[in-house]
Structure 1
């Protein structure tokens, strides 16, 4: 898919569209956004982080989106926002609008006779839609998408080339799934026997809420018995593995290369960094923040910011190391107490 076409806005039009106050020439025109360091006179930029304040004296941007506090340190044209980063995201949507969807069914698409495809949907070359599938209004299936039997996709979803949505999965409205993601493959379920591993049929589904976005090459496994569920507004980066029966609460965001083992439940509004590893059958509290490359092996019952990982050791040594680390705080308190007592006795 090509980049969205640019649309020209005046400073006044953009400020009104954002619902924000501004200063400067109302007729200034902008057709793009750019970083502070490289923006030109016909481009808009923004400042969120105070560490970039020195760039205010150097930027050539025609206008900036910045906080009222930072606006006091800048004399040029500006739009004031209490959350410049969020306003930047909204401005990008105005300046780079999505291309209007043109309904179409490619003659090279293979659509089962009993599939229900809304006439307003766009079905591109080599798409396959299985028996009993339902494709809602305004859905865009780019080339090579595979929709399995019994799948339901809600209104205005956009599936990029090569996405696979497998049997009986449910996707609510306004979801975006990027190239080569796989939704609804079998979970990793095997029972060990003397003869090897016995496969456990995976008979649950994947259910995605509204406004979910899934990154490229991410895999979300179907449930074993219960369903794998992602709540409304969840955002998943590229190359994330979500195991069977995982439940992720609304508005949680997860960065790339994170792996979530089966039956873990992650709360609402959590923020999870890249390469985080979750053991299975865990419960993570609403609002939890987890730093990148953390290893989560126990429940997190109280929201907060969590981080930490220890390089692999043999299991017995690792357990002993963790036990010793957990005792360090008490040992340090006793040492400080002993040092203070020694100091007090020497000064009397």
Structure 2
């Protein structure tokens, strides 16, 4: 569904919300609270946005029951339990979708490839031998789908994406511009001062409902496959090395790097610019805050951080000097000094008690 406008009653039905106001009010699009005009619908996701909502010119607000009671100057509402989730649903309604079907004349497709009748193959796409492209899948211009790659149903492959290494993508996978899937992993054997290339013989397996951002690189395995399970979501500029395993519904933010053969559990969150050393295991339900560096296994769920938080520059310089000075003192010497201080404190406490 994608058209110029919807009645408020239609929108409420789509998000399974309760309507308050004019059921025939016409909505043309979503908008932010700051930029909305009367024909727009907005969502309010907490008390801290109430002042912005009061000042907004939006015609309709998606809110909870509690928030609606606070917005006494507004008239039209859709009440739901989770306004942000309702907003996410509506983005798909108002999204501009690719509606073309078929194969453009400039696409080059090997005769052995199997392409669904309702798929769309854009200009200058190259599809190799024995490839499979599923129903309602869209492949945008200049994408390269190398030999023996399989792409499922309802997928979206953006412009200039390369999929190689006999990778297999299941259904509803989205891969954004300039990403490479199935490229050669970084495998070399050192011998006599030289690096000897190891041919990468594995592949990449990508589950259902996976989203991969732009400019990512997902290497195929050396022997076993690199695996992304169902529901994994990956931001832009992420590197996933060979033989990595990522569990269901894990989210990886931009500029993360995951080294070879690391295993990451289900429902994990990797904050931006985090790094994971190779051959490590991370348990389910682990969150890494931004710029964390994982150098050993994480066996229990929870939130983990590393690095030093932001200081004002002069304060940071003093802190670094103190850390260096601390590093130069033997640990045994520090322990002895702490023991001595503790003994002095205990002695002082005893003296004070006697005086009382």
TM-score (norm 1): 0.88
Q: Which residue of 2 aligns with 1:346?
A: 352
Q: Quick one: structure 1 residues 186 and 10, their matched pair in 2 at CA, closer, same or farther if it must change by over 3 Å? A: same
Match of 1:116?
Answer: 114
Does residue 66 of structure 1 match 2:72?
A: no
The runs of at least 4 consecutive aligned structure 1 residues that moved more than 4 Å come to 331-345
Which moves more between the two structures, 172-181 or 20-29?
Answer: 20-29
In the TM superposition, residue 232 of structure 1 has moved relative to its aligned partner by: 0.7
Contact 2:43 2:83 in 1 (8 A): yes
Matched, 1:88 2:102: no
Counterpart for residue 268 of structure 2: 270
What is the CA–CA distance in structure 2 between the aligned matches of 1:37 and 1:332, rounded to whole Å? 56
Cα gap change, 1:113 to 1:81, in 2 (>3 Å):
same
1:148-163 aligned at under 5 Å gives the runs 148-163=146-161
Q: Gapped runs of 5+ residues in structure 1?
A: none
What residue number does 1:209 align with?
207
Greater shift, 69-78 or 302-311, is seen at: 302-311
1:36-80 deviation line (CA, Å, top 9, x unaligned):
122111111112143323213211111111222222211222222
Distance in 1 (alpha carbons) for counterparts of 2:339 and 2:277: 32
**Cα deviations across residues 142-176 of structure 1 (Å, max 9, x unaligned)?**
11010111111111111111000003100001111
Structure 2 counterpart SS, 1:72: helix
- Residue pairs, 1:285-300, within 5 angstroms: 285-300=283-298
Shift of 1:195: 3.9
Give 2:11's aligned residue: 14
1:246 Cα deviation (Å)? 0.6
Asked if the contact 2:41–2:59 (Cα under 8 Å) also holds between the matched residues in 1, the reply is yes
Residue-pair matches, total: 335
2:257 aligned partner: 259
**Alpha-carbon contact 1:5-1:99 (below 8 Å) kept:** no
Structure 2 counterpart of 1:42, from 39, 44, 50: 39
Shift of 1:5: 6.0
The answer to whether the Cα contact below 8 Å between 1:9 and 1:95 also exists between their aligned partners in 2 is no
C-alpha displacement of 1:279 = 0.8
Give 1:229 deviation, angstroms: 0.4
Choose which of 26, 37, 61 in structure 1 pairs with 2:23: 26
Larger Rg: 2
- In structure 2, relative to structure 1, the CA distance for the partners of 1:342 and 1:18 (3 Å cut) is farther
More displaced stretch, 204-213 vs 332-341: 332-341
Give the RMSD, CA atoms, in angstroms: 2.9
Q: Which residue of 2 aligns with 1:136?
A: 134
